[in-house]
Structures are given as structure tokens and as C-alpha cells.
Structure 1
Amino acid sequence: MAKISKENAEHYHWGDQCDGWHLVKGQELSVIHERMPGNTAEVRHYHERSRQFFFVLSGQAMLEVDGVRNVINRQEGVEVPPGVKHQMKNEGAEDVEFLVISQPTTRGDRIQEN
């Protein structure tokens, strides 16, 4: 097993100038390191099967979960069960970096809110 980091992980862009790095990319488990610049947000959505855990590494994020705003500071996290609508936002000016741990993977399991 080789060590994995942002420097050698598979990288992708999403949303408005956001980055993601696949640290673990399996069917049963996904671990992604993500970066959101200031004043960005993902689309509100939910997953039918996947349970997720969002853990902030640096900065401050706001994770809305089923209508409840959760401010997540560095070294804090929030779990999102399957079927629950949620939206990650960076409402500040500084970048926020966080881990998204999903079990099973969210590939093919994302339903966006209309």
C-alpha cells in the first residue's frame, strides 16, 4: 500500500472553482479531500444509500442539513445520513478544506434538489 496525499491523488474540479482529491475511491468507501474558495457552495442534494461525514481540516464551513445550519470549525465534523438533504457552503472569504467520507460511494447516488 502506497501513501496517498493531495500531491499524488486523482484530482478533479467541481462547482465554481472548487477542487477535490480522491484519497480512497472504492465502491464501499470514498474519502475525498476538498477545497472550497470563499463564497462558494455546492448544490443542495441528498443520497439514497450513502452515509457521509464532513470533517473540516482548515477554515470554517457551513453545512445545511435538512434545514438546520451547522457551522463547522477546524477539527469538527457532521454526519449526514442517507436520504437527508444537505448543502456545503463556504460563506467566508478564506478557503475551507475538508474531508468527505462516504459509505458506500456516492457515485450514481446523488439526487439534486429541484
Structure 2
Amino acid sequence: MKISKTNAEHYIWGTHCDGWHLVKQPELSIIHERMPSGTSEVRHYHRLARQFFFVLSGTAELEVEGTTHTLEAMEGCEVPPGIPHQMKNQSDADVEFLVISQPQTRGDRHEA
């Protein structure tokens, strides 16, 4: 089945951020997310899940274990299990990105 933002399961996280479940399986999660300017995630880690963040448009800052990576469109960064991280949008425009998690993160998120 063909999937896109228009037919994917949508949710809102934080106060103004969007997520669309492109793949939602126990062994794999792929989410398309949108963060407006000035928003950020809570710093956290996953005990089991390995994640890959890939920016589609805009500029994001991904802090991983104390090091901040500026990610432009078509750039990504992997976060291994157990490593504290936080995605931020400190730019003046929305940022859209994919979060690929293996296995999915449901029940595996712990604030750092």
C-alpha cells in the first residue's frame, strides 16, 4: 500500500509538532515529523531502539551525548541505544525530517 502524509496516521507531540506514522511495526518505525521554529524535544534516550534522523527540509540541531550536530536538508545522524539525545529547531522556518527506529520506541523512551 502506498503511504504519504495525506493518508498516514497523524499525531501531535509537544505543543505544536506533527508526526505521521509511515511504518508502525514492532520491529520498525518510520515517522515523518514536522517541528515549527523554536520547538524542541525533551532530552531522552532509548534502552533498545537505534534511531536514524534524516532531515528532509529546513535545518535542525540534534544534540547527541553533549555534541550538537547541525543537520541540513538531505543530512542525517544515527543515535545508538542508550545515548541521550534531543532534536531542536532553532531556525526561523519549519524543519521536516524522518525518524527511523529499530525496534519501535513505544515504551522505550526514558528522560535523560
Superposed pair shares fold, TM > 0.5:
yes
> Are residue 32 (structure 1) and residue 35 (structure 2) matched?
no
Which amino acid in 2 is paired with 1:99?
Answer: L
| Cα distance in 2, alignment partners of residues 56 and 92 from structure 1 | 13
Structure 1 segment 84-103 matched on structure 2, within 5 A: 84-103=83-102
The Cα offsets for residues 25-69 of structure 1, whole Å up to 9 and x where unpaired, read as: 000000000000000000000000000000000000000000000
Across the aligned residues of Structure 1 and Structure 2, the Cα RMSD in angstroms comes to 0.4
Residue 93 of structure 1 deviates from its aligned partner by: 1.2
Structure 2: stretches of 5+ with no match in the other structure: none
Q: State the alpha-carbon separation in 2 of the partners of residues 72 and 92 from structure 1.
A: 11
The share of aligned pairs that are identical, in percent, is 68
* Structure 1 position 16, deviation (Å): 2.1
- 2-side partners of 1:76 and 1:16: how far apart? 26
Residue number in structure 1 paired with 2:108: 109
Deviations 1:75-103 (A, max 9, x none): 00000000000000000110000000000
In structure 1, stretches of 5+ residues that fail to align are none
SS for the counterpart of 1:41 is coil
The 5-angstrom pairing of residues 26-65 of structure 1 reads 26-65=25-64
- 1:56-75 equivalence runs, <5 A: 56-75=55-74
Aligned mates of 1:16, 1:64 — CA distance in 2: 20
The TM-score with structure 1 as length reference comes to 0.97
Match of 1:18 in 2: 17
